[in-house]
């Protein structure tokens, strides 16, 4: 009787199936699909885990169930690309299937959803499971939502930062000082990195800048830099570029620096949220991963910015400083004007054109962006003991050294020198004009971003907006406020309709 029970247990807990390549990628999580009859035999349900074993290799994957035998016949297991690659599987390979338990981190995510604090081991396990694709997209979304609803304590945030760094690569430069900067985002334009890096590098300092792609904005720095040069490199090549040119502007997502952060960002993008604790951990983990010693953090503040008022800004400033001290970094947080877009171009190509005009000292350059970049450079120079930093930065700009350094960085990143006028802008354009004369008193950052994204930015790099007026400027009735550019006729028409229906500029 005992032998019979053991045989039954083997039948229900273990199964051999034939592999079918589904030719689908999940983008991260390990997923397999089995026929509903096989699932019933093992009492499996959608989102349960199974262990797939081939020889001595195995992976724990999330189960989906095929209701149709046409997609995945009985006796077959459909595997996504991530599983196929991990186990080196081929069509018709035989694999062994056993039931597996869910990751430990599921219980810890539930704990955070309940508003409880997580300890070091729990946070480390969650990050490990994220990095190793053990959580499904739904489970990772719950973690992001839990941290958004029940904000992490400063201690939890520090633990999250350290865990992100621990489970990723580190750029080791053996240099001092290593300069870095970051804006918490939320302001259209604001392309300071692409001006600050060449100024600081031209001054002889090391600045290995990793940048993000857009989450909720019409362009991230990586999207804009990609107009001029490649931004995707392995960490070894990034190091080579930095040591050659003193700086770089690359996409952090390709470097395995704090990879958990990139997976979290992928979830945040469709939700258009940015949990404070994850924002803090994300920024500081990336800075720590590139061996930064001196870090300038930009916190834009304004009605339509991420940070609405001074109380919120000072709280964030304090938390950045606490994390910086715990990581033994020199950190300075500046609270800047976030009431309106910075610069004129909004969208990758339009922003790249602004940057080149600024570095070339062209009369068309955006002076608000220039002023902010010079102020940031002054703060960085002050951190490393250089006086009159604003004047020094301006001298580097006016001499052409910053532009030449940018060309050097562009070439090191497999790009080539290009004139601003040669950057291709979307061929469909529409001017939005003021309905009355007066002074611009308010600009809605969210609607600026929304219109630019609807027009096609950042996926269509030539799409976006070009702004002619800023807060405090006088405007006449019928005068242009901004121009919409788009590469797509359909998206262009939709962006026009939205621009006509929304009050983006307030003129009094």
pLDDT for the residue 5:
43
Q: Name which of 230, 247, 232, 227 is nearest 420 in CA terms.
A: 227
pLDDT band per the 50, 70, 90 thresholds, residue 73: very high
pLDDT value at residue 252? 84
The DSSP letter of residue 254 is G
Q: Which CATH architecture has domain 179-252+286-420?
A: 3-Layer(aba) Sandwich (3.40)
pLDDT in tens, 390-440: 999 999 999 999 999 999 999 999 999 999 999 999 999 999 999 999 999
In this chain, the answer to whether the domains covering 179-252+286-420 and 425-507 adopt an identical fold is no
Of the listed ranges 53-67, 373-387, 453-467, the one predicted with least confidence: 53-67
Inform me whether the pLDDT recorded for 208 exceeds 60: yes
Per-position DSSP letters for 309-354, written without gaps between them: SHHHHHHHHHHHHHHHHHTT-EEEEEEEE-SS-BSSEESHHHHHHH
The domain locations on the chain are 2-100, 105-150, 179-252+286-420, 425-507
Say what the pLDDT of residue 13 is.
Answer: 58
For 66, list phi and psi in degrees, rounded to 5: -85, 125
Task: Reduce the secondary structure of 34-63 to three states and give it as a string.
Answer: EEHHHHHHCCCCCCCEEEEEECCEEEEEEE
Whether residue 76 has pLDDT greater than 80 = yes
Q: What is the pLDDT of residue 272?
A: 66
Tell me the pTM: 0.84
High-pLDDT (> 90) share of the chain, % = 77
Q: Does 1 have pLDDT greater than 50?
A: no
pLDDT in tens, 165-201: 999 888 999 899 999 999 988 899 999 999 999 999 9
At 210, the pLDDT band (50, 70, 90 cuts) reads very high
Which pLDDT value is given to residue 268? 77
Q: Compute how many other C-beta atoms are within 10 angstroms of the C-beta atom of residue 24.
A: 14
pLDDT score of 7 more than 70: no
- Percent residues over pLDDT 70 in the chain: 96
pLDDT tens by residue, 349-390: 999 999 999 999 999 999 999 999 999 999 999 999 999 999
Q: Please compute the mean of the pLDDT values over residues 103-124 and round it to a whole number.
A: 95
Tokens 């580190």 belong to: 170
pLDDT exceeds cutoff 80 at 243: yes
pLDDT bin (cut points 50, 70, 90) of residue 12 is very low
Read off the pLDDT band of 497 (50, 70, 90): very high
- Residues marked active site are found at 274
Question: Residue 316, class by beta-carbon neighbours within 10 Å (0-12 exposed, 13-18 middle, 19+ buried)?
Answer: buried
The pLDDT of residue 11 is above 80: no
Statement: residue 137 has pLDDT above 50 = yes
CATH annotation of 425-507 = 3.90.1170.30
Q: Which residues contact 201 (CB under 8 A, 6 or more apart)?
A: 207, 245, 246, 247, 405, 409
* Residue pLDDT, tens place only, 271-303: 666 678 888 888 898 898 999 999 999 999 999
Average predicted confidence (pLDDT) for the chain? 92
28 — pLDDT class (breaks 50, 70, 90): confident
How much is the pLDDT for 9?
44
Report the range of poorest mean pLDDT among 128-142, 172-186, 252-266, 465-479: 252-266
Fold topology of 2-100: Barwin-like endoglucanases (2.40.40)
């Amino acid at each position: 009787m005992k032998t019979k029970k053991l045989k039954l247990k083997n039948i229900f807990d273990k199964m051999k199936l034939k592999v079918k390549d589904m030719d689908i990628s999940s983008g991260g999580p390990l997923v397999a699909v089995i026929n509903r009859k096989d699932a019933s035999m093992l009492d499996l349900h959608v989102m349960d885990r199974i262990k797939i074993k081939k020889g001595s290799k195995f992976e724990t994957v999330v189960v989906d169930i095929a209701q149709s035998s046409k997609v995945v016949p009985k006796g077959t297991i459909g595997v996504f690309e991530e599983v196929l690659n991990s186990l080196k599987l081929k069509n018709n390979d035989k694999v062994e299937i056993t039931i597996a338990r869910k990751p430990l981190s599921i219980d810890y995510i539930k704990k955070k959803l309940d508003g409880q604090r997580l300890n070091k081991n729990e946070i480390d396990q969650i990050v490990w499971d994220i990095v190793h694709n053990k959580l499904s997209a739904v489970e990772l979304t719950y973690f992001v939502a839990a941290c958004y609803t029940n904000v992490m304590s400063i201690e939890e945030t520090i633990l999250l930062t350290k865990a992100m760094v621990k489970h990723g690569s580190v750029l080791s430069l053996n240099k001092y000082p290593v300069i870095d900067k970051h804006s918490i985002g939320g302001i259209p334009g604001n392309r300071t990195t692409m001006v600050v890096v060449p100024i600081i590098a031209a001054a002889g300092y090391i600045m290995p800048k990793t940048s993000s792609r857009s989450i909720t904005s019409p362009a991230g720095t990586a999207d804009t830099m990609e107009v001029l040069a490649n931004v995707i490199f392995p960490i070894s090549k990034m190091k080579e570029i930095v040591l050659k040119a003193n700086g770089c502007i690359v996409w952090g997502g390709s470097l395995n620096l704090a990879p958990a952060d990139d997976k979290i960002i992928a979830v945040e993008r469709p939700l258009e949220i940015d949990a404070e604790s994850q924002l803090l951990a994300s920024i500081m983990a990336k800075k720590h991963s590139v061996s930064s010693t001196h870090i300038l953090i930009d916190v834009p503040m304004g009605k339509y910015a991420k940070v609405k008022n001074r109380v919120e800004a000072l709280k964030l400033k304090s938390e950045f400083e606490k994390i910086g001290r715990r990581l033994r970094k020199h950190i300075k947080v500046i609270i800047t004007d976030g009431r309106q877009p910075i610069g004129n171009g909004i969208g990758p190509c339009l922003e790249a054109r602004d940057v080149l005009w600024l570095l070339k000292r062209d009369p068309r350059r955006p002076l608000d962006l220039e002023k902010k970049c010079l102020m940031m450079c002054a703060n960085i120079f002050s951190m490393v003991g250089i006086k009159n930093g604003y004047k020094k930065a301006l001298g580097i700009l006016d001499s052409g050294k910053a532009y030449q350094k940018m060309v050097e960085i562009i070439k090191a990143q497999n790009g080539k020198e290009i004139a601003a006028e040669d950057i291709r802008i979307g061929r469909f354009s529409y001017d939005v004009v003021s309905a009355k004369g007066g002074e611009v008193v308010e600009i809605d950052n969210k609607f600026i971003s929304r219109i630019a994204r609807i027009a096609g930015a950042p996926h269509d790099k030539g799409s976006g907006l070009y702004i002619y007026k800023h807060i405090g400027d006088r405007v006449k009735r019928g005068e242009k406020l901004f121009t919409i550019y788009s590469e797509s006729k359909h998206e262009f028409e939709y962006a026009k309709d939205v621009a006509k229906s929304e009050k983006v500029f307030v003129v009094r």
